[in-house]
Amino acid sequence: MKKIFMILLTLILAISVFVSPTLAEENSVPELEKGVLLYSFKNNIFSYKFQVEYKDADGNMPRYMFVFVNGSRREMVKADINDNNPKDGILYILNMDQEELFKLAPKAKEWEIEYWFRTNDGQGPVSTKISKLFVLDTEAMGLTASNSAGGGSSAGGSSSGGGCGCGK
Q: Which domains does the chain have, with CATH numbers?
A: 31-136 (2.60.40)
Say which residues have a Cβ less than 8 Å from residue 80's Cβ, sequence separation at least 6.
90, 91
Amino acid 146: pLDDT: 56
- Residue with the bigger pLDDT between 146 and 153: it is 146
pLDDT tier, 31 (very low <50, low <70, confident <90, very high otherwise): very high
Start-to-end CA distance of the chain, whole Å, equals: 97
Q: What is the pLDDT of residue 158?
A: 36
Mean pLDDT, residues 18-26 taken together = 56
Burial of 47 (0-12, 13-18, 19+ CB in 10 A): middle
Instruction: Tell me which of 40-54, 113-127, 140-154 is least confident.
Output: 140-154
99-126 burial code (b ≥16 CB/10 A, e <16): eebbebbeebeeeebebbbbbbbeeeeb
Sheet holding 77-78, edge to edge: 77-78, 90-97, 45-55, 31-42, 134-136
**Bigger pLDDT: 165 or 45?**
45
DSSP state of 106: G
* Residue 150 binned pLDDT confidence (cut-offs 50, 70, 90): very low
Q: What is the largest CA-CA distance in the chain?
A: 97
